[in-house]
A and B are shown apart, each in its own frame.
Chain A
Amino acid sequence: MFDAQFWLPESVNALAGGVDELFIFVLWVTVISLALVLGAMIWFAIRYRAGSGGPRGSMPTHNMALEVTWTLVPTAILGVIFFWGTRDYAKMSIPAGDAMEIRVMGQKWFWNFDYPDYGVRLQATPELDEKNETEGKPVGLVVPVDTSVQLIGSSTDVLHSVFIPAFRLKKDVVPNRYTTTTFVATEPGVYDFFCTEYCGTKHSNMITKVTVLSKPDFDAYMEEAQEAAEGPADGATVFASNGCAGCHQVREGATGGLGPSLWGLAGREEALNTGEKVLADDNYLRESIENPMAKVVAGYDPIMPSFAGRLSEEELTALVVYMKQLGPDAGGAQ
């Protein structure tokens, strides 16, 4: 009853270490509190039932020492729970700098998993999953073991949510922003993957698996996948066909252009014309395409037109991925 195996599925995420312990700790707090308080209730109810001979004397209506105690003790315990929960939440929310990026796109009622480093797209529908399973192929989201992975999610329609119980991980995917979560899988195997934000008729069919492979198996599978199905949309093509290059330079050292150069932009602190500084993360890049007037880089005129509604979610994400590959650290610039 009091071990994590009874209450929770197996845990195979190196970042979720403290979660199960905290759950069991609060379970113990719950059981002990219930035993003490309900024990007292039952004891008083029997001892002091009407007509019983229990000694009454004066009936106390307050007791400072007791009331201070029963205020401070719960406060202390709750404080411990707060700090414990916050510590692990931070660990599970902030990806490591070198984490492998996988873009998760939720759609009624299936999932796309894009691997920008490999140019691979995997898809999860009940039919595809069944096919992969019968062919002995990895199912659903495929990740390497012992590797820091960040999932960057978005949605093309309504809210969905990525829930991987064995990773203790959950993050909504939202149609107007990117949300990020991270994990390090510790055991090869196949685990459940659910949608946990209600999304309509086939909400409960929007389930798939996470397949954790050894690193050699993962690399081999990525190679196989590169040749097979269609990959994600190509950001360079989207960039060219929308005329972005008319204003933005994309090569190292290149200057000029009505807009700022995009080389090395991603992950940098950018100075705005308001004097503020902003980190050029995925959501900044996204906003700068959809709503360019919101944050204008210092030294440039606010003249960029909005591309909201002119790009599909897929194209928008392809552009963001493309921009992140323009830089000395990205390596994989194509």
Chain B
Amino acid sequence: MSAATDQNQEPSYLTASTGWKSWLFSVDHKRIGLMYLVATTIFMIAGGSFAGIIRAELFTAAGDLIDADTYNRAFTLHGSIMVFLVIIPATPAVLGNFVLPLMLGAKDVAFPRLNLASFHIYMAGATLLLISMILGSFDTGWTFYTPYSSTTVGPVAWALTGVFILGFSSILTGLNFIVTIHKMRAPGMTWMRLPLMLWALYATSAVQILATPVLAITVLLLIVERSIGIGIFDPTLGGDPVLFQHFFWFYSHPAVYIMILPAFGIVSEMVAVHAQRPIFGYKGIAFSSLSIAIIGSLVWGHHMFTSGQSIYSSVLFSFLTFFVAIPTAIKVFSWVATLYKGHVSYTPPMMYVFSFLALFMVGGLTGVVLGALSVDVHLHDTYFVVAHFHYVMMGSAIIAYIGGLHHWWPKMFGRMYPQKLANVTSVLVFISFNLTFLPMFLVGSRGMPRRYYEYIASYQTLNQIATVGAFLLGASLFVTLGYLIYGAIWGPVASRNPWNGLSLEWRTATPPIEHNFHGQPTVSGTPYDYPVEPGEAPGEAVGVTK
């Protein structure tokens, strides 16, 4: 079987039509997913470059490489690009777009044109952020805290408009996914047979739809305040800066779950397929996604324990924060239990599962430290927090996303990357990640504040370790990008189902045909009905159902 055709000689989605218009205006969810892949990868390199500038500056305690204002712009752009342009869209928009209809046994998402519109809106928002960079950039931090953001000079309004527009892309994608999951499941795919990736995307979409409008309204209010001077957050105009923090975190804390819930979905798929074993605690994992989405919407005030909010609010938010930890712990235990009596292959996706479990546990448990009120007062806004959220947002969300790319890469491009190199690189990524961020816990608990251009000399050694780690991490990620691209173009042709997966995307051609399936696939069991002997996974013939 060649990469470009299946047995019916129908061309794959990659070759079904040609020319730039056939991509840029494609309503095929797979092509849209790939365009998001290209865009988010470019932005990740940009955001990573700013991280490189930050770490280079922090190699010594004195501010010597760049000036303070440039430094402030660099960390603002690093945060804004990584959050708004990379992590929030990465898993839902890249992998979600590609696999969601395939896993459902559907031809496409429910609203293909809306899906394309989401991509164009995303690019429009990203363009505005880029314009603000060209216009001299902004220095508010990605959090846009008022009244600093109301008063600082620079193209803040451009950036805010960009964020406002990006929000709509997110909302529309979420809407599309929810409708698709409700209405387009293959015959026989009951809710309890839904792949866990789709449960995770469902919970993510709900949060996107409910929380993102609040962000949009908040940045709109801030634009209004900056441009026509109506006081909302700026005290000199009669506004309240702490109100901004409530509004901002009302979105941005749930946004953490927009980033991490899809990662839970990816890991659930990978651990079952690469251990060739039924997932342990399917219902526990599915319902914990939903309960995390619900409770996670009620904990925003834990970002504000030192802000001057009432101490009674702080106690309540701390209490609720610990409640998010419980379903999260249940998930971790279930993934590990899934390895028990399995047939664990040390494939690259499984290596990323191992990485994820270790890094996510560190990220989650240090979140427990920060949820405790008295300890948070000391650690808030120090490097301890920086380390914590990088373990969650990069060590967990991005690591799972990269693992997911390794899992679905052969399906996306019909070719396989060099697996041994991938395994070695995954270990390098893991080691260099820890080298970068473990020292930050220590330098933070010892008192180093975040967003510091210069720092006192006693923090220097730990910062130097982190900087060395960061550059190794960057190099490892470039190797990853290199072999993935190499694999997609020159790698050996991949079989239809290289990992012996049972969910529907493995039943169609590799790469899939434009309309995904020749017939309507049907489902008669869960996607985790292992054990299955190699070669006996269902649907080796096109369109045939189990």
Contacts and interface: CB of A to CB of B under 8 A. Distances in A.
A59 B329 contact: no
Most chain A CB inside 10 Å of its own CB: which residue of B278, B442, B451: B451
Most chain A CB inside 10 Å of its own CB: which residue of B152, B239, B345, B374: B374
B496 interface: no
Given A23-B375, A158-B151, A200-B148, A165 B447 contact: yes
A255 interface: no
B368 interface: yes
Nearest to B76: A198
A51 B343 CA distance: 7
A170 B374 contact: no
Contacts of A33: 361, 365
Contacts of B184: none
A62 B445 CA distance: 40
Interface string A75-104: 100110110111111111110000000000
Interface stretch (B123-131, B261-269, B377-385, B424-432): B377-385
A45 B271 CA distance: 11
Interface string A274-291: 000000000000000000
Contacts of B278: 59, 61
Contact of A203 (B318, B341, B446, B453): B453
B277 A171 contact: no
Interface string A196-226: 1111111111010000000000000000000
B341 A54 contact: yes
Contacts of B368: 26, 29-30, 78, 81
A163 B381 contact: yes
Interface stretch (B18-26, B105-113, B203-211, B319-327): B319-327
B311 A82 contact: no
B374 A88 contact: yes
Contact of B445 (A7, A44, A88): A7
Contact of A74 (B241, B329, B358): B329
A46 to B, nearest CB: 8
A150 interface: no
Given A38-B357, A61-B281, A201 B69 contact: yes
Given A75-B326, A175-B241, A26 B375 contact: yes
A204 B147 contact: no
Interface in B395-452: 442, 445-447, 449-452
B308 A196 contact: no
A161 interface: yes
Contacts of A7: 442, 445-446
Most chain A CB inside 10 Å of its own CB: which residue of B308, B340, B345: B308
Interface in A244-264: none
Given A30-B365, A48-B339, A60-B340, A174 B451 contact: no
B284 A85 contact: no
A81 B325 CA distance: 12
Contact of A81 (B336, B372, B447): B372
Interface residues of B, number: 89
B488 to A, nearest CB: 26
Contacts of A130: none
Contacts of A168: 374, 377-378
B330 A194 contact: no
Nearest to A207: B456
A177 B309 CA distance: 11
B235 interface: yes
A179 B241 CA distance: 13
Nearest to B335: A41
Contacts of B277: 59
Interface string A39-82: 01100110011110011111111100011001100110011011
B306 interface: yes
A198 B346 contact: no
Interface string B281-319: 111100000000000000000000111100100110011
B377 A92 contact: yes
A81 B366 CA distance: 13
A159 interface: yes
A8 interface: yes
A66 B341 CA distance: 16
B332 interface: yes
B342 interface: yes
B382 A48 contact: no
B378 A196 contact: no
A221 B170 CA distance: 59
Nearest to A166: B447
Contacts of B239: 176
A14 to B, nearest CB: 14
A195 interface: yes
A322 to B, nearest CB: 22
Contact of A50 (B276, B282, B382): B276
B366 A30 contact: yes
Given A62-B280, A67-B284, A170-B306, A44 B344 contact: yes
Interface string A14-47: 0010110011001101100110011011001100
Contacts of A169: 377-378
A159 B241 contact: yes
Contacts of A74: 325-326, 329
A294 to B, nearest CB: 12
A192 B236 CA distance: 31
B175 to A, nearest CB: 33
B332 A198 contact: no
A158 to B, nearest CB: 4
A172 interface: yes
A9 interface: yes
A48 B307 contact: no
Given A50-B276, A82-B322, A170 B377 contact: yes
B546 to A, nearest CB: 19
Contacts of B377: 19, 89, 92, 168-170
Contact of A62 (B281, B325, B346, B382): B281
B354 A201 contact: no
A236 interface: no
A26 B145 contact: no
Contacts of B284: 62, 67
B192 interface: no
B374 A163 contact: no
Nearest to B530: A59
Nearest to B444: A7
Contacts of A86: 315, 318, 373-374
A271 interface: no
7 contacts: A37-B336, A161-B306, A172-B308, A195-B449, A196-B382, A197-B145, A203-B452
Given A198-B145, A200-B152, 10 more contacts: A26-B365, A30-B362, A56-B531, A62-B283, A62-B284, A81-B322, A91-B374, A175-B235, A176-B241, A200-B72
